[in-house]
Amino acid sequence: MLISVARRVLCRSLVALGVTALAGCSMFSSPDPRFDPAPLTEYPAGISAHVVWSASIGSGGGSGFGPQVVGDNVYAATPSGSVAKVDLATGAIRWQANAGKSLSAGVGSDGNVTAVATPDGTVIAFDDKGTEKWRAAASSQVDIPPAVGEGVVVVRSSDYRIQAFDENSGNPLWNVQRPGPALALRTNMRMVIIEGLVISGLPNGRLMAISLHTGAVQWEGTVSVSQGATDLERVSDVVGSPQTQGSLLCAVSYQGKMACFDVSQGGRPLWDKPFSSATGMVTDSQQAYASNQRGVVYAFRLADGSQVWKQDALLNRSLSGPAVIPQALAVGDYQGYVHFLSRTDGHLLGRVQVGSDAIVSPLTSTNRGVLVQTGSGSLVLIGVN
């Protein structure tokens, strides 16, 4: 577990490896067998999953690094500074660039501009030939991928400031800052751009919708309220990527809640329920899916938040952020396996291993299968029949 000098960044807790403790910035294993990872079991396969292609794009991985699919292309980066555009169908690398320094987050792309960020807060943009366009300075370190769209590049820095830059020039456009807690998770988070708004989760259990072009805050909603006697107990960050389905906007927090809002009624809270996730949630047109801190996977009805099913066969396997594909729900684990679960009742359908490293980046749904960014710096496309 890592804490920044300003005590603002707390890494994702890996419950599958034991209980976490904040002491000397170290992770301590637990002798308690309740925290042992569930063994893999045999079961009748319900689907056939296979590796379609694998492409090495650099070295390293971690929170803040996940691929982005734009049309028929995949954009991705690694902590080593490598940035790449890859053909989704074949895995062929269309271009590869180097940022010239290590990266703390990346990528965001709209297919015209691809942006990444460095530990010192430098935002670097590349055009769609892999040539560097500009560099700009954020107010502090950026640990989550930039959001890029409609001519704007948006970053959220570790001082809880959201800043926008002109996509073509890198000139600053606006910034919005909210006070934040002493500690915040360092895990997989993303902002999303939709209908002229950038939507971001915040480290205090809140969601914010900001006008992409003016920086005016259009709406703020509370997913969860911090509770507890210590800074660690009060961590209640919105994690993963905000989810939209029609008029619904949903999110989940760590040590907090899962909640959905009706944006057609000014962001009115529709439902919420106690839940704690370190990796985020996904939705389809009917259900919301997330795993809790111990790797129990749940499905809830989007209409009212009622539980549809839960699956504990992957207990303590340190699951990644999930992905929804037509055939199944997919999650990665600490041994490099991708597991597929039925969206109807949660039973296990199949699994495939993409390497021995833990899958930390959230899985990405594509029209060709599930895209995985591994801890060793590879992109892997898994096809499902």
Residues 289-310: tens digit of each pLDDT: 999 999 999 999 999 999 999 9
Number of helical (H) and strand (E) elements in the chain, helices listed first = 0, 34
Mean pLDDT (the chain) is: 89
Confidence of residue 53 (pLDDT cuts 50, 70, 90): very high
* Per-residue confidence (pLDDT) for residue 19, from 0 to 100: 30
* Per-residue confidence (pLDDT) for residue 11, from 0 to 100: 39
* Per-residue confidence (pLDDT) for residue 30, from 0 to 100: 53
* Per-residue confidence (pLDDT) for residue 188, from 0 to 100: 83
Residue 42 CB contacts under 8 Å (≥ 6 apart), including other chains: none
* Per-residue confidence (pLDDT) for residue 306, from 0 to 100: 98
Q: Which helix (H) or strand (E) holds 86?
A: strand 82-87
Kindly report the pTM of this predicted structure. 0.90
Asked if pLDDT for residue 24 goes beyond 70, the answer is no
Task: Fill in the amino acid letter for 160.
Answer: Y
* Per-residue confidence (pLDDT) for residue 187, from 0 to 100: 75
Strands in 73-77's sheet, in edge-to-edge order, are 68-70, 73-77, 82-87, 93-98
pLDDT digits (tens, 9 = 90+) for 318-363: 999 999 999 999 999 999 999 999 999 999 999 999 999 999 999 9
Asked if pLDDT for residue 185 goes beyond 90, the answer is no
Distance CA 113, CA 128 (A): 6
Asked if pLDDT for residue 8 goes beyond 70, the answer is no
